[in-house]
Structure 1
Amino acid sequence: MIKIYHNPRCSKSREGLAVLEHANKDFEVVKYLEKPVTEKELTEIVKLLGIPAIALVRKNEKIWKEEFKGKVLSEEAVIKAMVANPKLIERPIIVNGSKAVTGRPSSSILSII
């Protein structure tokens, strides 16, 4: 089943949700700010995306600038930071089986559904 890691307050995340709704596919919405992802889950998402964890971080968030900016962090430390502070996770993320994309641009979602 397709999953979208979604933040309803984010316009890009809402665009991603709209793509899935218009595709008439069954999907699950994970509101990751309400139900945070686990380290294991986020590690798997990063692997599916095929990117380093740091590429999934929203670096303009206040918490990143105040607590992490300029520090050399391991992959594991970056994932732990995102799990502890879910606002740092780029959104939306769409996972379909063994494939995943960020919905930026939202048209990228079409490549995995």
Structure 2
Amino acid sequence: MAEYKIYHNPRCSKSRQTLEILNEKGVDVEIVEYLKNPPGKSELTAVIKALGVTPSDIMRKKEAEYQEAGLDQEGLSVEQQVEKMIAYPKVIERPIVVKGNKAVVGRPPENVLDLID
């Protein structure tokens, strides 16, 4: 099992740049193309906890799917937000890199350096 995991979108320049930094540092990284293979509820909840944020903090609010999913409605519970993020993975901010119980969003890509010992 890889020490690092990146939730990656190969079409995103920031995601590609973050992956490039990980590769340059020679770390063992598992690549999860989350648009093809969205994380499950417990996995996404663990990522959110590792980031130390709320689900709303890692949503791409300008994506059409954000409104399509009804994520712009007030009063959604954390559980409802997570379920909608799984159903509409395009709204999940990218890239997210996880190492153990810590995680960072690769915006800017250099944020990943905080996870590398």
Same fold (TM over 0.5): yes
- Matched AA of 1:5: Y
Contiguous gaps of at least 5 residues in structure 1? none
2:44 pairs, out of 42, 45, 52, with 42
Shift of 1:18: 0.8
Alignment of 1:29 onto 2:31: yes
Contiguous gaps of at least 5 residues in structure 2? none
> Bigger CA drift: 10-19 or 63-72?
63-72
- For residue 109 of structure 2, what is the aligned residue in structure 1? 106
Shift of 1:69: 1.5
Aligned residue-pair number: 113
TM-score by length of 2: 0.92
- The 4+ residue runs of structure 1 with deviation greater than 6 A are none
Shift of 1:72: 2.2
> Considering only aligned residues, what root-mean-square deviation do their CA atoms show, in Å?
1.0
TM-score by length of 1: 0.95
- For residue 17 of structure 1, what is the aligned residue in structure 2? 19
1:78 pairs, out of 70, 75, 81, with 81
